[in-house]
Amino acid sequence: MKLVYIVVRPSKVEVVKSALAAINIGGATLFDVRGFGASRGHTSSYRGSQYVTDTNPKGMLMVACKDDDVPNIIQAVRDVANTGSIGDGKIFVNELSDVIRIRTGESGEDAIMEKNDD
């Protein structure tokens, strides 16, 4: 199993969610985050005073998935989030040792598979 962190522009979060749903990724955890990198921030003004904002707002989606899903996730995100400009974001892929579904006690891949228990 893998844990994929997808950091994108805030304006791309909804299209990334849609792209993940289109490839049958059942869910993600969303965060509003701030970061800095090659796009060093910008100068803003508030009530006549200028100040430097050295971090930029980003959206982060965290997805627990099967190993086989990772290439599809990466391609889907790149297809919709790539603008060709600095600040498009990053995708981080980590090993995931275990997942436990709190409600049922299921663990491993069973815990990340979407089920309709209705």
- What are 53's two structure tokens? 């904002």
Summary mean pLDDT of the chain = 91
CATH number of the CATH domain containing 92: 3.30.70.120
Domain count, the chain: 1
Residue 117 lies in a domain: no
Q: 1 pLDDT band (50/70/90 cuts)? A: very high
> What is the Cβ-side half-sphere exposure of residue 26, based on CA atoms within 13 angstroms?
11
What are the Cα distances from residue 54, in Å, to 5, 8, 21, 36, 88? Answer: 22, 17, 33, 7, 17
Least confident of 4-8, 23-27, 39-43: 39-43
pLDDT tier for residue 31 given thresholds of 50, 70 and 90: very high
Give the model confidence (pLDDT) of 45-72 as tens digits. Answer: 777 887 777 788 999 999 999 999 999 9
Q: Please indicate, yes or no, if residue 118 is contained in any of the structural domains.
A: no
Q: What is the pLDDT of residue 41?
A: 61
Answer whether residue 11 is part of any domain.
yes
**pLDDT tens sequence across 17-29:** 999 999 999 899 9
The pLDDT > 70 percentage for the chain reads 91
- Bridge-based pairing of strands 2-8 and 89-95 is antiparallel
Q: What is the pTM of this model?
A: 0.85
pLDDT > 70? residue 42: no
Maximum C-alpha span of the chain: 57
Domain that holds residue 31: 2-112
